[in-house]
Amino acid sequence: MGQQILYDELYLAKPCIIVTYDTFPSSILERMSQFGWDPRRYQLINKLDVVDCYSATAGVTEGVVPEPFDLTNVSIYLTAVMEKLGNRQVTILVDSLMPIFSETESKHAVGFLQSIAAKVKKAGGKMIATLSTGSVPSELFHKVESMVDGVIELRMVEEHEMLQRYLLVRKMDRRQILPRLVRFDIINGKGIQLKFPRFGSLWKSGVIPRA
């Protein structure tokens, strides 16, 4: 989901940064390529950069952020990358927050997020972050939720002995939302494809079926 939003921003010629704590940059770019996107093209024209906060934990020393849990250092590094991309309407994807909260004090992690959010807001851009439910204490999870403008929850639900993917928009600033699960598939060459229910025509006419 985060990668699709980010690629939509790239398509609109807006600079983007991926801050990866979960996997190697090459894995992220390969996954995006499987959706039929071409992230490397945007790297070549200085519209996309990847801040590698993962490889150092696997022993890699070149081309990476050397101390990924020194959040002050990461923030300085990120500021330099934003400036390199023009520092206007920059979208930043942090994937994922879980290692940050696991390896640093929560107050430092929260301060780091607030710092990034302030930089992005000043640049007129967007910040997207991923965090698994249950990966941090509920109090901290809700604190993170309170800091952001929108929350989209992804779920896996077993139906007829098969796992189905659903999303739920739990929060969206300045938007009226309908708290209803919507099924989606991930299609190679396309990305996320929503499966709207059959009452979509009723929704368009302003008639909302009862749950």
CATH code assigned at 106: 3.40.50.300
Kindly tell me the sign of the dihedral angle through the C-alpha atoms of 100, 103, 104, 106: positive
- Residues 60-87 have pLDDT tens digits of 888 899 999 999 999 999 999 999 999 9
Please give the pLDDT value at position 198: 59
- Residues 98-146 have pLDDT tens digits of 999 999 999 999 999 999 999 999 999 999 999 888 888 888 888 888 8
**How many folded domains does the chain comprise?**
2
Q: Could you tell me if 41 and 128 lie in one domain?
A: yes
Q: Structural domain of residue 109, as residue ranges?
A: 2-148
Mean pLDDT of 44-68: 92
pLDDT category at 206 given cuts 50, 70, 90 is: very low
Please give the pLDDT value at position 208: 36
Q: Could you tell me if 136 and 47 lie in one domain?
A: yes
Q: Could you tell me if 144 and 158 lie in one domain?
A: no
End-to-end CA distance of the chain: 26
> Which residues pair with residue 155 across a beta bridge?
166
Please give the pLDDT value at position 186: 76
Among 104, 133, 148, identify where a domain stops: 148
Please give the pLDDT value at position 146: 85
Q: Could you tell me if 32 and 46 lie in one domain?
A: yes
Please give the pLDDT value at position 145: 86
> What is the value of pTM for the model shown?
0.80
Q: Could you tell me if 9 and 24 lie in one domain?
A: yes
Contacts 24+ apart (CB under 8 A), 173-178: 173/149, 175/150, 178/208
Q: Could you tell me if 63 and 165 lie in one domain?
A: no
- The CA-based angle 177-183-188, given to 5 degrees, is 120
Q: How far is CA 199 from CA 164, 169, 170, 208, 209, in A?
A: 19, 18, 21, 8, 8
- Cis, bond preceding 96 (omega within 30 deg of 0): yes
